[in-house]
Amino acid sequence: MYENVLLPYDGSDGAAEVLHHASELAHWADATIQLLYVADTTRDSVTVVDGHTVDALVRRGEDVVDEAAKTLDTLGVPYGTDVVQGNPAPTIVEYAERYDQDLIVMPTHGREGISRYLIGSVSEKVVRLSPVPVLTVRMQPDETLVFPYENVLVPTDGSAAATHAAEHLVELAAALDATVHVLSVVDDTALGLDVRSTGSGTESEEAATDAVETVVSAAEARGVTKTVRHIEHGTPVEVILDSIESNDVHAVGMGTTGRRGTDRILLGSVAEKTVRSAPVPVMTVADPN
254-271 pLDDT, tens digit each: 988 644 444 444 444 788
Mean pLDDT is highest, among 124-133, 220-229, 254-263, for 220-229
| Per-residue pLDDT, 262 | 41
Residues 142-176: tens digit of each pLDDT: 788 999 999 999 999 998 889 999 999 999 999 99
| Per-residue pLDDT, 51 | 56
For 7, residues 6+ apart whose C-beta sits below 8 A from its C-beta are 18, 19, 22, 33, 34, 35, 36, 104, 105
| Per-residue pLDDT, 175 | 97
Residue 92 confidence (pLDDT) above 50:
yes
- The band of 23, judged by pLDDT with boundaries at 50, 70 and 90, is very high
End-to-end alpha-carbon separation of the chain, Å? Answer: 22
User: Rounded mean pLDDT of the chain?
Assistant: 85
Residue 114 confidence (pLDDT) above 60:
no
Contact criterion met (CB below 8 Å) for 169 and 263: no
Mean predicted confidence (pLDDT) in 88-114:
84
Mean predicted confidence (pLDDT) in 185-204:
65
| Per-residue pLDDT, 111 | 47
| Per-residue pLDDT, 270 | 85
Q: How open is the CA angle 277-282-287, to the nearest 5 degrees?
A: 115
| Per-residue pLDDT, 190 | 60
Q: Read off the DSSP letter of residue 124.
A: H
| Per-residue pLDDT, 40 | 85
Which of 170, 139, 143 is CA-nearest to residue 255? 170
pTM: 0.88
Mean predicted confidence (pLDDT) in 44-73:
78
- pLDDT-above-90 percentage for the chain: 61
- Of 20-29, 183-192, 223-232, the range with the lowest mean pLDDT is 183-192
- Of 57-61, 117-121, 162-166, 259-263, the range with the lowest mean pLDDT is 259-263
